[in-house]
Amino acid sequence: MTYTVGTIAEMIGGSLTGDSSIEISGAAGLDQASSGEITFLSSDKYIEESKRTGASAILVHEKYADKPFTIPTISVGNVYSALAEILTLFDSAEGREPGVHSMAFCAPSAKVAATAHIGPFCVLSEGVEIGEGTHILGHVHISKDVKIGENCLIYPGVKIYKDTVIGNQCILHSNVIVGSDGFGFAPQKDGSFVKIPQIGHVIIEDQVEIGANTVIDRATMGATLLKKGVKLDNLIQVAHNVEIGENTVIAAQAGIAGSTKLGAHCQVGGQAGIVGHLTLADRTLIQAQSGVTRSTREPGTKLYGSPALDYSNYLKSYAVFKNLNDLQSRIKELEKALSELKS
C-alpha cells in the first residue's frame, strides 16, 4: 500500500512542510531508510544523522519544525504516537483472508464471524466464539467456551484454556498461555501437597497486548483480570486471581504472585517481583529487579530495590551501601586510634 506524504500528514494530524505529492510505501530508521520510505526524528542527538538519511520524508517533533530539512517534513506533538499510526498503515496482513482454513478444526458448536480468519492447524473447541475481524494464526489451540472479541490478533502457538474471555482489539503473541492452572497446593501433615482445583477463569478486557511466552494463570475461584489497555512484555508470570488495572505496563521477566491487585497506569520494570495479596495504588512505579513486599496506598509511589524501598530513600541508602567496605575500614582505624588513646 502506498500513501502520499500529504495523506499521511492528514491522517496523523501533522503539519506538513514540503512536497505533499511524494509517495511513501514504507517506514524505516534514519540510517536504514531509502527512497519511498518515511523516517522519524525525536532526539537532538540524531539531528546530524537526519541530514544524511536516504528517506523521502521525515516525521519530527514540532520543536524541529523550523529546521531546514531537504525532504518533506511532518511535525507533530508526539512523535512516537504518530509513528505508531504510520506503522499501522504499512503493517501487512497478507494471507489472512476471511474464513476457516481447510486444515483447521472447528467444533460444530463453535461460532466464527464471517470476517474472522482462522489459520491452518488451529483447534476451536466446543462453545468457542470468535468476533468480527479477528485473526487467529496457525497452530493456536482454543479450549471449550472461550470467547474472543472483535479485531483481535492471535499469533501462532498461543494456547487459550477453557472459559477465558478476551475483549476487542487484543494482541496475543506467540506461545502465550492464558488460563493455565494457578499454583495452588495444600500442605499435608506428612509433608506432601494436595492440588487445589483451579475452577476460575481469566478475563482480558479491550486493547490488551500480551508478549511472547507470557503466562496468565486462571483464578482458583472467580477471575484473573487484565483491565482495558494493559500491556505485558515477553516472559511474564501473572498468577491466579491477580488484577491488573487499566493502562498498566509491565516489562519482561516480571512476576506477580497470587491475589495481588495493581492499580491503573502502573509501570513495572523488567525482572521485578511482586509478592502475593498486595494492593498497589494507581500510578505506582516499580524499578527493574525490585522485590515488592508491601502494599502502596499513595498514588504515584516509586519503589526500588529488594526488598523495595521508596525510590529516593533507596538511592540515598545505596550511596552509603556501595561504600560499606571503605566505611568498615575507617571504623576499624578509628576504633584502633581510640583504643590507643585510652591506653
Q: Which residue numbers are catalytic?
A: 240
How is residue 84 written as a grid cell?
Answer: 505508531
Beta strands 165-166 and 209-210, pairing class: unpaired
Burial 79-94 (b: 16+ CB within 10 A, else e): beebbeebeebeeeee
Number of Cβ within 10 Å of residue 273's Cβ equals: 19
Q: How many CA atoms lie within 13 A of 167 on its CB side?
A: 15
For residues 177, 216, 218, 157, the Cα torsion angle rounded to the nearest 10 degrees is -10
Work out the end-to-end distance of the chain between its first and last CA atoms, rounded to an integer number of angstroms. 90
Beta strands 302-304 and 309-310, pairing class: antiparallel
Evaluate whether 185 touches 219 at the Cβ level (below 8 Å): no
Residue with cell 500480551: 210
